[in-house]
Amino acid sequence: MIKKISLWTALGAASLSLTSHAFADTDSKIWDMVVKEAEGQTVYWNTWGGSTQINDYIDWVGQNLKDTYGIDVVHVKLDDTANAVSAVVAEKAAGKDEDGSIDLIWINGENFASMKNQDLLYGPDWAQNLPNWQYVDVENKPTITTDFTIPTEGMESPWGMAKLVFFHDSARTKADEMPDNSDDLLKWAEENPGRFSYPQPPDFIGSSFLKQILIEQVEDISLLQQPAEDVDFEAVSKPLFDYLDKLHPNLWRGAKAFPRDYPSMSQLLADGELDITFAFNPATASSAIANDELPDTVRSFTFSGGTLGNTHFVAIPYNANAKAGALILANFLISPEAQLRKQDPAFWGDPTVLAMSKLPEDKAAEFSALDLGVATLRPDELGPAFDEPHPSWMAIIEEKWASRYGVAN
């Protein structure tokens, strides 16, 4: 059962519950009430905290909300979003259905599916009724309304787009020698032992690499859109683990250790220990170059046949204490101002969820004028986007990976 939580219970005005039609109009009295209720609130925003640029961007967001709305944003830095999910699960088990410790979560498809299945999310239908939703590109970005095959039903708001891209240092390796698919990558690793690795799952980037290989190696890709328990998992996933068995002896440190996360892997590229790395953001390398974290000779490449693509979101737990403040924050995150800064590699470089055709002309012009950076591929160079598998696949694959290859870093 989907929970419809009244924002106004604390005010003794439960009849003013935020439902699907409550604040579709930016001038509506209900949205004005949301803004008024949010003033003075503290929003505890749980996000991955492993990137200096992203943390600085979140600080900028928090300052904007403080200055404009009188809202304090506390950035709770996570090394794994699953920890936030576990906290909400524990609060529900303890009967804490109000005054929860988490107000907003930067969430991925696996954790969204888990929270949705357990009735741990506020909603439905709040996201598409935010005032700035009018700018969101729902027509051309289907992953905005379907997250890892699961309909979002307005229970999470899009924050940015993601596409798996690879990086190399052109001062050491030639672009025309870079692999163009997973089979090429395996061959390259065999010819260049120790020069490639990936973060240890369940790190999000590491798990995304496993999904990329699974998608390319599986015999029937359509099976990945079904729950893993509905198919012969062992048979379908066998090509992935056969591939990894061949790849691992040729990885950095012989797969006896793995990078902890993307920043750790990126540092290995900067230090000359790895020749190929990857991320889930086409502008990551340019952003790192702009911040003197990678040499300016690093360049991006991708697989011409396609790489994994998705949207990342923010969601409000069902028992959030500062729901009004969380709504204001989510709305600001999809504003042209916030999305423009986020797409700028000098600050982050994360691709926008907005449609340029829906923006005022002056705002669209500002997006067009952005210098995306020397290492950023143009949209027409990114290649096709593979759909995410059903979230059940990764839970089982990560468990099997840990039992088969897991190491203590």
> What's residue 80's pLDDT?
87
Q: 219 and 294 in one domain?
A: yes
**In the predicted model, is pLDDT for residue 3 greater than 50?**
no
> What's residue 108's pLDDT?
85
Q: Which of 87-91, 148-152, 256-260 has the lowest mean pLDDT?
A: 148-152
The closest of 291, 320, 338 to 76, measured between CA atoms, is: 320
**In the predicted model, is pLDDT for residue 236 greater than 50?**
yes
Contacts of residue 14, defined as CB under 8 A and 6 or more positions apart, other chains included, come to: 6, 8
> What's residue 346's pLDDT?
86
Q: Give me the percent of the chain exceeding a pLDDT of 70.
A: 93
Any domain includes 222: yes
Q: 176 and 186 in one domain?
A: yes
Dist. CA 317–CA 89, nearest whole Å: 10
pLDDT digits (tens, 9 = 90+) for 91-124: 999 999 999 999 999 998 889 999 999 999 999 9
What is the domain count for the chain? 2
Q: Which of 23-27, 55-59, 85-89, 143-147 has the lowest mean pLDDT?
A: 23-27
pLDDT digits (tens, 9 = 90+) for 51-102: 888 999 999 999 999 999 999 999 999 988 889 999 999 999 999 999 999 9
Any domain includes 41: yes
**In the predicted model, is pLDDT for residue 12 greater than 60?**
no
Any domain includes 3: no
Any domain includes 4: no
**In the predicted model, is pLDDT for residue 8 greater than 80?**
no
CA 13 remoteness from chain centre: 36
Any domain includes 270: yes
Any domain includes 2: no
Q: In what order do the strands lie in the sheet with 165-169?
A: 277-279, 165-169, 298-301
Q: 50 and 96 in one domain?
A: yes
CA geometry: angle 214, 215, 216, nearest 5 deg? 90
**In the predicted model, is pLDDT for residue 241 greater than 80?**
yes
Q: 253 and 199 in one domain?
A: yes
Q: 273 and 372 in one domain?
A: no
Q: 152 and 13 in one domain?
A: yes
Q: 228 and 103 in one domain?
A: no
pTM over 0.75: yes
37: tokens are 């209720």
Q: 17 and 155 in one domain?
A: yes
Q: 401 and 275 in one domain?
A: yes
* Confidence at 247, pLDDT banded by 50, 70, 90: very high
Q: 341 and 318 in one domain?
A: yes
Domain that holds residue 358: 9-162+310-376
> Quick one: three-class SS letters along the chain?
CCCCCCCCHHHCCHHHCCCCCCCCCCCCHHHHHHHHHHCCCEEEEEEECCCHHHHHHHHHHHHHHHHHHCCEEEEEEECCCHHHHHHHHHHHHCCCCCCECCCEEEECHHHHHHHHHCCCECCCCCHHHCHHHHHECCCCCHHHCEECCEECCCCEEEEEEEECEEEEECCCCCHHHCCCCHHHHHHHHHHCCCCECCCCCCCHHHHHHHHHHHHHHCCCHHHHHCCHHHCCHHHHHHHHHHHHHHHHHHCHHHHCCCCCCHHHHHHHHHCCCCCEEEECCCCHHHHHHHCCCCCCCEEEECCCCCEEEEEEEEECECCECCHHHHHHHHHHHCCHHHHHHHHCCCCCCCCCCECHHHCCHHHHHHHHCCCCCCCCCCHHHCCCEECCCCCHHHHHHHHHHHHHHCCCC
**In the predicted model, is pLDDT for residue 257 greater than 70?**
yes
Dist. CA 281–CA 164, nearest whole Å: 6
* Confidence at 11, pLDDT banded by 50, 70, 90: very low
Q: 368 and 257 in one domain?
A: no
pLDDT digits (tens, 9 = 90+) for 164-200: 999 999 999 999 999 999 999 999 999 999 999 999 9
Any domain includes 33: yes
The closest of 393, 113, 388 to 240, measured between CA atoms, is: 393
67: tokens are 């200055």
Q: Which CATH number goes with the domain that contains 100?
A: 3.40.190.10
**In the predicted model, is pLDDT for residue 159 greater than 90?**
yes
Q: 335 and 226 in one domain?
A: no
**In the predicted model, is pLDDT for residue 293 greater than 80?**
yes
Mean pLDDT value of segment 381-392: 90
Mean pLDDT value of segment 330-338: 98
Dist. CA 251–CA 256, nearest whole Å: 9
Q: Which residue has the tokens 């935010």?
A: 130
Any domain includes 158: yes
